[in-house]
A and B are shown apart, each in its own frame.
Chain A
Amino acid sequence: MMSPRLQALEVRVQLGATLALDGVSFSPQPGWTAVVGPNGAGKSTLLRVLAGLQTPDAGAALLNARELRDWPARDRGAMIAWLAQQSEASGELSVREVVHLGRLPHLGLFTAPDAEDDAAVDEAMIATECSAWQQRRLHELSGGERQRVLLARALAVMAPLLLLDEPTTHLDPPHQVALVRLLQRQARAGRTVVSVLHDLSLALMADRVVVMDAGRIRAEGSRDDPALHAAFVDVFGGAIRIVRVGDRWVTVPQLEMN
C-alpha cells in the first residue's frame, strides 16, 4: 500500500490562553511513529491538526501537498482514520453497527454497505478481538472492550493513514501487547501509523518516536537514537531512565532524583 504524504508545516495553534502548538513541523513516515511527551505538550492537538479536525492559526496542514481543509470531507475521511483520546461514544448501536460506521467515508450517507464493507468490518473486529460480542451494545462493555471496538471502528476505515490518540487507554497488559503487534502489522502493510502513547515503554517499540514538550517537537528519531533518549528523559524532568532489557528499551522511574 502506497501511503499518502501528511505534513504539518510550522503549525501554530492557540487554544484559549494556551499556545498548544508553537511552530511545529512534522511529516510522519510510513511505519509506526509514537508521539510522547508530558501532559499539555500538544500531542493530541498535533494529531487533530493532522486529521483535519483543528485548523491551524498559522502554518499549514497538507495531505499530498494540498491543504487538508481544501480536501472534500469524505475523501479526507477515507484516507485518514482518527481515534479520539476519550471516547464520547453513546447510544444504542450494537458493536457491529459501531464498527460499520468506519465505512461511512466510503459509502456516504445514502449508499447501502456491500460485501466489501462487511469484509472490512469483519477483518477489523478480528484484528481487535471483538467479534465475539458484536451483538452487544457499547454501554454493556467494559472500558477496555469499548476501546477495542472503537479501535476496530478506526481500522474499518481501511485508511492508509492511522492517527490514534491514546489507543491503549483502558487496555489490560495482554491487550496492550496485542495492540502493539497490531500497529506493527499495520505498519508492515505499508500504512502510516501515528499514535500518542502515555506508556513510554510501549512507545519505545515504535519504528520512530517524536518527543514533544510545551507545544514544540523536542526530538524525533529512531527508538535506538541516544539523542532521542536524552530528550525523552529531559522532557519528563529526569523522572525516568531508559534501560535495555533483552532487545527492547524500557523506561523505569528514576527514584533517586537530585
Chain B
Amino acid sequence: MTTMDTQRRVRLVVGMAVLTLLLLGAGLAAGSEGWSIAGLMQTLNGPDAALIVGEIRAPRTLGAWLTGALLGLAGATAQGLFRNPLADPYLLGSASGASLGVVLVLAGSTLAGHSISLATADALSRVGLVSAAFAGALLGVLVTLTLARGAQQTVRLLLAGVVVGVVLSALSDLVTTAAPDALRGKQAFMLGSTGFLGWGSCLALGLGLLLCAPLSWRWARALDALTLGEDSARSLGLDLARVRIALVGSLALATGLAVSQAGLVAFVGLVAPHLVRRFAPAPHGFTTLASAGAGGALLLAADVLARSLIAPQEVPVGVLTALLGGGYLLWLLHRRRVA
C-alpha cells in the first residue's frame, strides 16, 4: 500500500467517523417537531426523556445506522462478487422474497379476520412480519441458488436472481389481487421505513453485522483475485464455488436482516461502495468494511432528513435514499460523459 493510498483511506475513515457521530447526535435530536439541539436538551430534561430518547429515538437512530451498514456491506460484496458496479444487494431474490413473505402474512391475517397494519402492528405481529420478511428473503436466495445449480457460474446466478425476482413479485401481486388490504402494507414495506426500529431490531441487526462483517472481510481477498477474471482467480488456487457460497451466504443474511427490519431501503447498497471507491480506491477488504460505514452514515442522514423535512409528517426513508442515491448516480454518469 502506498503512502497516498494510506492517506486517502485514513481521511475517509476519519471523515466517516466524524460524520457518523454528528449524524447520531442529529438522530437523537430529530423528533416529531423537527430537528433541534434545544429541543433535544428540553426533551432530555423532561419527564419522558427515557421513553422519547431511550426507547424511540436512540434505537431508531442506531437501527438506521446498522441497517445502512448491512446494506453497504452487502452491496460491496455483491459488486465484487458479480464484478459489476451496478450490482445491488437485492439482486439474488431477497427483496422479492421478503416482500412476498410480508404480503402473505398481511393477507393471511386479513383473511383470518385479524387485520395487521404496518404502522400500528403490535409487538407480536411485528415479530411475525419481521420473521416472514427474513424467511422470504432467505427463501428467495435459496431458490435462486437452486435454479442456478449452486454458485458455480456468475452469469447463471445473476439470471436466476432476475427470474426469481420477477416470479416472486408476480406471486406477491397475485396475493394482493386476492387480498387488496395487503396492498397498503406491501407499499409501506416497499418504501422502506426506519420508524419501527426498536432495541430488539438493533440487537438482531447488530448481531448480523458482527457475523457478516468479519466473514465478508476475510473472504475479500478472493474478490480482489476475481478482479483479474474468473479463470485467473482459479489459476491462483481459489475454489470459486466455496468463495461464492460463503459470500452469497453473508450477502443473503445481511440483506435479509436489513429488509426484514426496515423494508426495501433503495440505493444504499448500490451507492455506498461507489462513494468509498471514489474517495479511496482500495482492495475489497477495506472497501467492504468502509462501505458498511458509508451505508450506515447514508441511511442515518436519510433518516434524519426524513424526520425533519416536513415535520411532524415523515417522508418514507426509502423515497429519500432513492432520490439521493439516484441523484448521485446521475451526477456520476454526467461527470463521466463530460470527461
Contacts and interface: CB of A to CB of B under 8 A. Distances in A.
A110 B218 contact: yes
A206 interface: no
Interface in B248-298: 277, 281-283, 287
B225 A101 contact: yes
Contact of A104 (B229, B230, B236, B277): B236
Name the interface size band of chain B.
20 to 34
Contacts of A82: 231-232, 235
Contact of B5 (A74, A76, A94, A101): A94
A104 B225 contact: yes
B224 A93 contact: yes
Contact of A109 (B221, B228, B283): B221
B234 A53 contact: yes
Contacts of A89: 227-229, 232
Contacts of B283: 93, 97
A114 interface: no
B228 A76 contact: no
Contacts of B227: 89-91, 93, 98
Contacts of B234: 53, 73
A73 B238 contact: yes
Contacts of A137: 281
Nearest to B83: A90
A150 B232 CA distance: 10
Contacts of B236: 77, 101-102, 104-105, 157
Interface in B1-17: 1-2, 4-5
Interface residues of A, number: 39
A48 interface: yes
A78 B282 contact: no
A87 interface: yes
A91 B83 CA distance: 8
B237 A135 contact: no
B228 A77 contact: no
A135 B2 contact: yes
Nearest to A134: B2
B221 A104 contact: yes
Contacts of B238: 73, 77, 104, 109
A235 interface: no
A70 interface: no
Nearest to A135: B2
Interface string A92-123: 11101110011011001110000000000000
Interface of B: 1-2, 4-5, 83, 218-219, 221-222, 224-225, 227-232, 234-239, 277, 281-283, 287
Given A77-B236, A89-B227, A134-B2, 18 more contacts: A53-B235, A73-B239, A75-B237, A82-B232, A84-B228, A87-B228, A88-B228, A88-B232, A89-B229, A92-B277, A96-B2, A101-B224, A101-B225, A102-B236, A104-B238, A105-B236, A110-B218, A110-B221
